[in-house]
Amino acid sequence: MTVSTCVLLWVLLTALAPLWIPGSFVIGILRRSSFAVLRLLMFFWFYLSIELMGLTAAAAIYVITPGRRERREDLFFRLECWWGSSLFAWLARFLSLSVSIEGEDQILPGHVLVFIRHASIIDTAIPVTFISNATGLRLRYVFKRELLVDPCIDVAGHASPNYFIDRGGIVREELEGVRRLAENLGDQGVLLYPEGTRFTKRKQDIALKRLAKTHPELAEIAATFRHCLPPKPGGALGLLDTAPDADVLIVAHRGLEGLANATDLLNGTVVGAQIQVRIWRVSADEIPRGEARRRWLFDWWKRVDDFVGGVG
């Protein structure tokens, strides 16, 4: 259904381009909103084009690699890098976004766990663009199951060792699926969004109330967060237990807060935004063992929250 929908939408947008391009241009003049509608529709057309090219490439990979699993995974990794970095590049172009990154020299070598902030509908493209595509580091992703609605993520995501977590599933089984990603990690990495979802004040209040009941000793530091949700430690601690010799990359970013939902693209406030990415590498020897890891994770997330707020 999703593949057919992508094809149909691409055909409609292409055929109706003589109508929606001048129409959205006029809307931009009348609304004085930095031509947000035109920018969004242009990006959406490119998104569908990249999706269809990606699906065609994926089909070709399956045809030319029968019984050659390593070759297939290598080609899908290259496709993943092209797909994600292309989407981000076109979005940055249409929204006039600028990006700066600090700490990219700490990404390699592999055998790492990557814990990244989650704030936007497009920050899933940050690791593939600025980590995998930039350095060649292969990542195994923990994605929410809802992302399978994207046909490229569905097809390519199941061709590599990733895990699509069911947030309504049995917690023990879902955490076990996450832990398995860190087995036989080699020179690769596992990427996890410890917050589990994007920040809102309502979600923060719910998380703090839950934390006050389960781990009151952490509620005090979590209450100081202004931009991030308290991390859900289950997945992160499970990965650390499975790969205790792996270093950890902490990835913070700011500038994408205005893109929390698809509707945010229409108001034009994100046009011209400056995105800053900061990466820290924590050696496995510096990570405490046992229950102290929970506090260690919260302390690091306080540092991420400070960075988002302009401190550091």
pLDDT of 264 strictly over 70: no
Q: How large is the angle between the packed helices 233-242 and 292-308, nearest 10 degrees?
A: 120
State if pTM tops 0.85: yes
Q: What is the pLDDT of residue 166?
A: 93
Q: How does strand 247-254 pair with strand 112-116?
A: parallel
Give the fold, CATH level 3, of 2-308.
Glycerol-3-phosphate (1)-acyltransferase (3.40.1130)
Tell me the per-residue pLDDT of 21-56, one tens digit each, with 9 for 90 and over. 999 999 888 877 678 888 889 999 999 999 999 999
Q: What is the pLDDT of residue 123?
A: 85
- Sign of the alpha-carbon torsion through 164, 125, 84, 34: positive
Q: What is the pLDDT of residue 28?
A: 85
Mean pLDDT confidence for 104-114 = 96
Tell me the per-residue pLDDT of 165-210, one tens digit each, with 9 for 90 and over. 998 899 999 999 999 999 999 999 999 999 998 888 899 999 999 9
Tell me the per-residue pLDDT of 54-91, one tens digit each, with 9 for 90 and over. 999 999 999 999 989 899 999 999 999 999 999 999 98
Q: Measured between alpha carbons, how far is 290 from 283 in angstroms, rounded to an integer?
A: 16
Mean pLDDT taken over the chain: 92
Tell me the per-residue pLDDT of 146-166, one tens digit each, with 9 for 90 and over. 999 999 999 999 998 999 999
| Burial readout 24-49 (b: 16 or more C-beta within 10 A, e: otherwise) | beeebeeeebbbbbbbbbbbbbbbbb
Q: What confidence category does residue 261 fall into, taking pLDDT thresholds of 50, 70 and 90?
A: low
In the beta sheet, which residues pair with residue 99? 275
Q: What confidence category does residue 220 fall into, taking pLDDT thresholds of 50, 70 and 90?
A: very high
Q: What confidence category does residue 124 fall into, taking pLDDT thresholds of 50, 70 and 90?
A: confident
Q: What is the pLDDT of residue 120?
A: 84
Q: What is the pLDDT of residue 181?
A: 97
Tokens at 5, concatenated: 């929908």
Span of 82-96, 213-227, 258-272, 296-310 with lowest mean pLDDT: 258-272
Q: What confidence category does residue 312 fall into, taking pLDDT thresholds of 50, 70 and 90?
A: low
CB neighbour list of residue 285: distance below 8 Å, 6 or more residues apart: none
Prior bond to 109 cis, omega within 30?
yes
pLDDT of 260 strictly over 90: no
Q: What is the pLDDT of residue 249?
A: 98
Write out the chain in H/E/C secondary structure: CHHHHHHHHHHHHHHCHHHHHHHHHHHHHHHCCCCHHHHHHHHHHHHHHHHHHHHHHHHHHHHHCCCCHHHHHHHHHHHHHHHHHHHHHHHHHHCCCEEEEECHHHCCCCCEEEEECCCCCCCCHHHHHHHHHHHCCCEEEEEEHHHHHCHHHHHHHCCCCCEEECCCCCHHHHHHHHHHCCCCCCCCEEEECCCCCCCCHHHHHHHHHHHHHHCHHHHHHHCCCCCCCCCCHHHHHHHHHHCCCCEEEEEEEECCHHHCCHHHHHCCCCCCCEEEEEEEEECHHHCCCCCHHHHHHHHHHHHHHHHHCCCC
pLDDT of 265 strictly over 80: no
**What's the angle, vertex CA 162, arms to CA 157 and CA 167, rounded to 5?**
100
Q: What confidence category does residue 95 fall into, taking pLDDT thresholds of 50, 70 and 90?
A: confident
Would you say 270 and 258 are in contact if contact means Cβ atoms under 8 Å apart?
Answer: yes
Q: What is the pLDDT of residue 273?
A: 86
Q: Measured between alpha carbons, how far is 71 from 61 in angstroms, rounded to an integer?
A: 9
Would you kindly state where each structural domain of the chain is located, as residue ranges? 2-308
Q: Measured between alpha carbons, how far is 65 from 58 in angstroms, rounded to an integer?
A: 11
* Among candidate residues 192, 220, 196, 198, the one with its CA nearest the CA of residue 208: 220
Q: What is the pLDDT of residue 19?
A: 96
CB neighbour list of residue 189: distance below 8 Å, 6 or more residues apart: 110, 111, 112, 113, 114, 131, 137, 138, 139, 140, 246, 249
Percent of the chain whose predicted confidence (pLDDT) is above 90: 77
Mean pLDDT confidence for 278-301 = 96
